[in-house]
């Protein structure tokens, strides 16, 4: 290690910033956030530095710093943008025995200014030793993305229980487990979800059990929507809970690239159902969730799309609630939204559709039980889930009730995945085209004039092969 990271206490101390640039302003701002008194030196400061002059604890001097200016200061930053001037500051600082950082010249200065992810009081500082700042920028973005915004406040919140826990749980190992459960378990989750009362109740409850010698092994369930397939469409929270699971129950539709993001050690259970071959009946999934959680496991119920849109999420959760198992639900991008966007089709559009209706068309004995009157109205988009098998029935139904045969329709198969295919047509020919294209699903059917916008808005390069296919199947029969 070339540089040792430390966190400086600057409260009430003096800091010198030499420079009038935006970098200088940033350095000064950080120091102010840490409670320092900042002296800025520059003959002609830029606007960002001038703006700081109105702040408390800032003295702006319109000249270069001199030897006496460094007396009594704790650290100095050379951020003038002029290498010679920065080196001159370094000389002054050395003489005054003040730690000095020189922008862009890490090796010459006494310390490096790290890139910071601030979730105060939790602060992450990143440095690449000055070697390749781009690494630090990329790492910074990743950490920003994975650390919940309220993480710092969570640290403060649990910190408030320190004395209570120390008194109630004398055993150090048990205390560590308790802390882990608190931060990375239901209490922390309740807090991050904004439910302070439940977070507190959870801690008090757990503390009581632990203090009376019992072991709190309560598990929990995360019902998580994984989106339609592209792992990039996962939410931060989905990813965080996926990384925490002891066991995952997933459906057939879920792709391997999403599953590979679940914690490697987690046990994997496929509860997927093909239409006929029921790998597992609905009742027993709920029972399994309850049993695993009672065993103390963190159970991830991972579902395609959004768990509350044609995902039976509500049914699975009802049993958990009844059994008193803590759970949380994470929404996901639903197939209609993901697939249509990736196929270049907006679901609503001022000139085409003022509303969008999601339906399922799971035909039973050749009959579709749908509210046709509502569905054939103008000015809307209808997105159909589970409708590929009854596409013929569906288009016939629309035509019978007076919808024009020219109504545009798109069928998006494997939407948002590398294998995405889109077939477009009209109500009168879509069934035939889809049959010719041999789509197998999963597929979303989008009905309405928004489909015509696809020619303008198809940005998704994934679908280029599909576009060729569309042209192919669109060719009139010889
Ligand atoms: N809860 C899910 C829907 C489950 S129902 C959601 O919110 O998306 C299963 C149906 O969703 C499939 O029959 C298909 O119509 C649709 N579907 C799911 N993923 C899809 C994908 N990647 N491409 C096209 N359709 C998809």
Return the CATH number at 319. Answer: 3.40.1010.10
Beta-strand ranges (E) seen in 183-244 are 220-225
* Tokens found for residue 61: 């001097």
| Closest ligand 1 atom to Cα of 415 | 23
Q: Distance between CA 200 and CA 181 in Å, rounded?
A: 13
Catalytic residue (choose from 251, 297, 303, 421): 251
State which of 306, 330, 354 marks the end of a domain: 330
Q: Are residues 273 and 351 in the same domain?
A: no
Domain annotation covers residue 434: yes
Among 101-105, 149-153, 162-166, the range scoring the smallest mean pLDDT is 101-105
Q: Distance between CA 87 and CA 461 in Å, rounded?
A: 51
Q: Is 121 exposed, middle or buried (0-12, 13-18, 19+ CB in 10 A)?
A: exposed
Mean pLDDT of 229-248: 92
Q: Are residues 344 and 458 in the same domain?
A: yes
- Residue 364's pLDDT is what? 66
> How many other C-beta atoms are found inside a 10 Å radius of the C-beta of residue 374?
11
Domain annotation covers residue 135: no
- Residue 476's pLDDT is what? 37
Q: Are residues 246 and 183 in the same domain?
A: no
Radius of gyration of the chain (CA): 30
Task: Tell me the CA–centroid distance for residue 304 and ligand 1, in Å.
Answer: 7
Q: Which structural domain range is residue 286 located in?
A: 220-330
Task: Tell me the CA–centroid distance for residue 416 and ligand 1, in Å.
Answer: 11
Q: Are residues 194 and 236 in the same domain?
A: no
Q: Distance between CA 128 and CA 112 in Å, rounded?
A: 9
Q: Distance between CA 54 and CA 300 in Å, rounded?
A: 52
Domain annotation covers residue 478: no
Q: Are residues 348 and 379 in the same domain?
A: yes
Q: Are residues 181 and 235 in the same domain?
A: no
Pocket residue to mutate for ligand 1, from 227, 305, 443, most atoms within 8 A of Cβ: 305
Domain annotation covers residue 432: yes
- Residue 443's pLDDT is what? 97
Catalytic residue (choose from 118, 205, 273, 436): 273
Three-state DSSP at 179 gives helix
Reported as a pLDDT band with limits 50, 70 and 90, residue 149 is: confident
* CA-closest residue to ligand 1 atom 5: 310
Over residues 397-430, the pLDDT tens digits come to 999 999 999 999 999 999 999 999 999 999 999 9
All residues at 6 or more sequence positions from 100 whose CB lies less than 8 Å from its CB, including other chains: 75, 76, 77, 78, 89, 90, 93, 94, 109, 110, 111
Q: Are residues 278 and 321 in the same domain?
A: yes
- Does 184 qualify as catalytic in the annotation? no
Over residues 167-214, the pLDDT tens digits come to 888 888 778 778 877 888 888 888 988 889 989 998 888 888 877 776
Over residues 39-70, the pLDDT tens digits come to 999 999 999 999 999 999 999 999 999 999 99
* CA-closest residue to ligand 1 atom 2: 305
Q: Are residues 378 and 283 in the same domain?
A: no
Contact residues of ligand 1, CB 6 A cut-off: 228-229, 253, 303-306, 309-311, 334-335, 339, 385-386, 412, 414-417, 441-444
> How many other C-beta atoms are found inside a 10 Å radius of the C-beta of residue 399?
15
Q: Which of 259, 419, 228, 224 is nearest to 341 (CA)?
A: 228
- Residue 16's pLDDT is what? 97
Q: Distance between CA 225 and CA 405 in Å, rounded?
A: 36
Domain annotation covers residue 130: no
Q: Are residues 101 and 167 in the same domain?
A: no
Domain annotation covers residue 145: no
Structural domains in the chain (count)? 4
State which of 89, 113, 137 marks the end of a domain: 113
- Residue 108's pLDDT is what? 81
Residue 236, H or E segment: helix 236-242
Q: Are residues 276 and 293 in the same domain?
A: yes
- Residue 220's pLDDT is what? 87
Domain annotation covers residue 1: no
Task: Tell me the CA–centroid distance for residue 341 and ligand 1, in Å.
Answer: 14
pLDDT above 70 covers a percentage of the chain that reads: 90
Q: Are residues 383 and 273 in the same domain?
A: no
Return the CATH number at 427. Answer: 3.30.950.10
* Tokens found for residue 339: 């697939």
| Closest ligand 1 atom to Cα of 416 | 22
Task: Tell me the CA–centroid distance for residue 306 and ligand 1, in Å.
Answer: 9
* CA-closest residue to ligand 1 atom 19: 228
Q: Are residues 346 and 313 in the same domain?
A: no
- For residue 223, pLDDT over 90 is answered with yes
Task: Tell me the CA–centroid distance for residue 446 and ligand 1, in Å.
Answer: 12
- For residue 464, pLDDT over 50 is answered with no
Q: Which of 89, 73, 93 is nearest to 81 (CA)?
A: 89
Are the beta carbons of 80 and 42 closer than 8 angstroms? yes
State which of 166, 190, 211 marks the end of a domain: 211
Q: Is 43 exposed, middle or buried (0-12, 13-18, 19+ CB in 10 A)?
A: exposed
Task: Tell me the CA–centroid distance for residue 18 and ligand 1, in Å.
Answer: 58
* CA-closest residue to ligand 1 atom 11: 385
Domain annotation covers residue 184: yes
Mean pLDDT of 314-337: 91
- For residue 473, pLDDT over 50 is answered with no
Q: Which of 86, 87, 53, 94 is nearest to 70 (CA)?
A: 94
Reported as a pLDDT band with limits 50, 70 and 90, residue 98 is: very high
- Does 251 qualify as catalytic in the annotation? yes
Task: Tell me the CA–centroid distance for residue 460 and ligand 1, in Å.
Answer: 19
- Residue 468's pLDDT is what? 41
Pocket residue to mutate for ligand 1, from 335, 345, 420, 446, most atoms within 8 A of Cβ: 335
On average, the pLDDT of the chain sits at: 88
Reported as a pLDDT band with limits 50, 70 and 90, residue 281 is: low
First to last CA, the chain: 73
- Helix H segments across 18-161? 22-33, 47-50, 83-96, 133-146, 151-159
Return the CATH number at 43. Answer: 3.40.50.720
């Amino acid at each position: 290690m070339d540089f040792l990271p430390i966190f400086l206490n600057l409260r009430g101390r003096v800091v010198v910033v030499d420079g009038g640039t935006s970098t200088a302003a940033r350095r000064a701002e950080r120091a102010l956030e840490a409670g320092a008194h900042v002296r800025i030196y520059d003959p002609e400061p830029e606007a960002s530095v001038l703006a700081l002059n109105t702040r408390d604890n800032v003295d702006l001097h319109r000249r270069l710093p001199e030897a006496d200016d460094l007396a009594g200061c704790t650290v100095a930053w050379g951020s003038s943008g002029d290498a010679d001037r920065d080196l001159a500051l370094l000389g002054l600082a050395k003489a005054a025995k003040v730690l000095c950082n020189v922008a862009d010249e890490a090796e010459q200065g006494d310390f490096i200014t790290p890139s910071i992810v601030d979730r105060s009081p939790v602060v992450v500082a990143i440095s690449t030793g000055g070697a390749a700042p781009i690494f630090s920028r990329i790492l910074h973005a990743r950490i920003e993305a994975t650390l919940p915004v309220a993480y710092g406040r969570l640290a403060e919140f649990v910190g408030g229980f320190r004395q209570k826990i120390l008194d109630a749980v004398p055993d150090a190992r048990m205390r560590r487990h308790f802390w882990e459960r608190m931060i990375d378990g239901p209490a922390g989750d309740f807090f991050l979800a904004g439910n302070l009362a439940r977070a507190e109740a959870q801690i008090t409850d757990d503390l009581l059990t632990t203090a009376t010698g019992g072991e709190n092994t309560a598990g929990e369930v995360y019902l998580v929507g994984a989106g339609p397939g592209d792992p990039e469409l996962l939410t931060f929270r989905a990813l965080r809970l996926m990384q925490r699971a002891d066991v995952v129950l997933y459906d057939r539709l879920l792709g391997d690239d999403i599953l590979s993001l679940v914690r490697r050690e987690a046990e994997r259970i496929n509860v997927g159902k093909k239409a006929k071959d029921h790998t597992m009946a609905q009742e027993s999934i709920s029972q399994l969730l309850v049993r695993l959680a009672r065993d103390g496991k963190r159970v991830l119920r991972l579902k395609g799309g959004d768990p509350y849109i044609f995902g039976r999420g509500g049914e699975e959760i009802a049993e958990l609630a009844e059994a008193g198992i803590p759970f949380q639900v994470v929404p996901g991008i639903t197939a209609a939204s993901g697939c249509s966007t990736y196929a270049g089709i907006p679901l609503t559009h001022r000139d085409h559709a003022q509303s969008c209706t999601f339906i399922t068309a799971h035909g039973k004995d050749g009959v579709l039980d749908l509210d046709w009157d509502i569905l054939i109205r103008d000015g809307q988009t209808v997105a159909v889930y589970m409708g590929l098998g009854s596409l013929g029935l569906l288009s016939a139904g629309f035509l019978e009730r007076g919808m024009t045969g020219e109504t545009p329709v798109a069928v998006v198969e494997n939407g948002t995945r590398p294998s995405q295919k889109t077939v477009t047509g009209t109500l009168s020919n879509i069934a035939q085209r889809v049959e010719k294209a041999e789509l197998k699903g999963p597929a979303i059917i989008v009905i309405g004039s928004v489909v015509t916008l696809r020619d303008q808005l198809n940005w998704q390069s994934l679908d280029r092969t599909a576009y060729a296919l569309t042209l192919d199947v669109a060719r009139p029969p010889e």
